[in-house]
């Protein structure tokens, strides 16, 4: 079953949202590779890609959490480690198994990947959204204050009378 992206799954950070889109695509590719006769070359390629991309994505996500002062950083980071370990274990087991056992395992894995991803994004990452939004709002406010201060400084430097100085709250 293909996962379709819904706007409600966006957390508001363009980099992390693009990562999640890409992860969804990879899992859809994985499902396509096992749809009929299992294409093991494609499966292995997608799995390897998924393991390394997930590691990079988690790092980016943890960096963002630090930046926005996400209060659940520690537990989120721990769950990232668990997922990465599990993905690596799955990959190792997949390589060791053969024939029908390997086919059965790979079909089980599809369910795990889908559930994990949807759970990761919907229940876990969406909790970051208000913190990301607050961070973006704070940044916009800081930029506005800077612009106002610059405009005021420019007016003073230009020798404009105090009555003509720009109102800093209206920049
Ligand atoms: Fe994520």
User: Do residues 14 and 126 touch, judged by C-beta distance below 8 A?
Assistant: no
Q: Distance (Å, rounded) from C-alpha 74 to C-alpha 170?
A: 40
Number of H helices and E strands in the chain, helices first, is 5, 0
How is the chain split into domains, by residue range?
11-128
Q: Distance (Å, rounded) from C-alpha 51 to C-alpha 56?
A: 9
Residues 6+ apart with CB under 8 A from 144: 171
Whole-number Å distance, alpha carbon 31 to ligand 1 midpoint, is 20
Whole-number Å distance, alpha carbon 40 to ligand 1 midpoint, is 27
**Six-digit token string for 158:** 């230009």
Whole-number Å distance, alpha carbon 126 to ligand 1 midpoint, is 9
Whole-number Å distance, alpha carbon 19 to ligand 1 midpoint, is 7
| pLDDT, mean over the chain | 90
> What class, spelled out in words, does domain 11-128 have in CATH?
mainly alpha
Kindly indicate the confidence band of residue 39, based on its pLDDT and cuts at 50, 70 and 90. Answer: confident
pTM of this structure: 0.83
CA distances from 22 to 17, 29, 110, 165, 169 (A): 9, 10, 16, 50, 41
| Ion ligand 1 contact residues with beta carbon within 5 A | 61, 125
Helix (H, G, I), strand (E, B) or coil at 38: coil
Q: Distance (Å, rounded) from C-alpha 90 to C-alpha 84?
A: 10
Query: pLDDT by residue (tens digit) across 70-124?
Result: 999 999 999 999 989 988 998 999 999 999 999 999 988 888 888 888 788 777 8
């Amino acid at each position: 079953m293909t996962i379709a992206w819904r706007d409600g799954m966006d957390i508001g950070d363009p980099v992390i949202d693009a990562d999640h889109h890409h992860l969804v695509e990879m899992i859809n590719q994985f499902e396509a590779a096992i749809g009929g006769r299992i294409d093991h070359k494609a499966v292995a390629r997608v799995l390897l890609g998924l393991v390394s991309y997930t590691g990079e994505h988690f790092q980016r996500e943890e960096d963002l959490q630090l930046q926005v002062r996400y209060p659940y950083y520690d537990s989120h980071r721990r769950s990232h480690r668990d997922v990465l370990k599990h993905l690596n274990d799955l990959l190792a087991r997949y390589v060791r198994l053969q024939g029908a056992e390997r086919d059965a395992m790979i079909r089980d894995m599809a369910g795990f990947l889908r559930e994990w991803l949807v759970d990761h994004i919907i229940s876990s990452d969406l909790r970051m959204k208000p913190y990301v939004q607050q961070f973006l709002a704070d940044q916009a406010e800081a930029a506005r204050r800077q612009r106002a201060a610059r405009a005021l400084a420019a007016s003073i430097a230009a020798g404009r009378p105090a009555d003509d100085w720009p109102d800093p709250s209206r920049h």
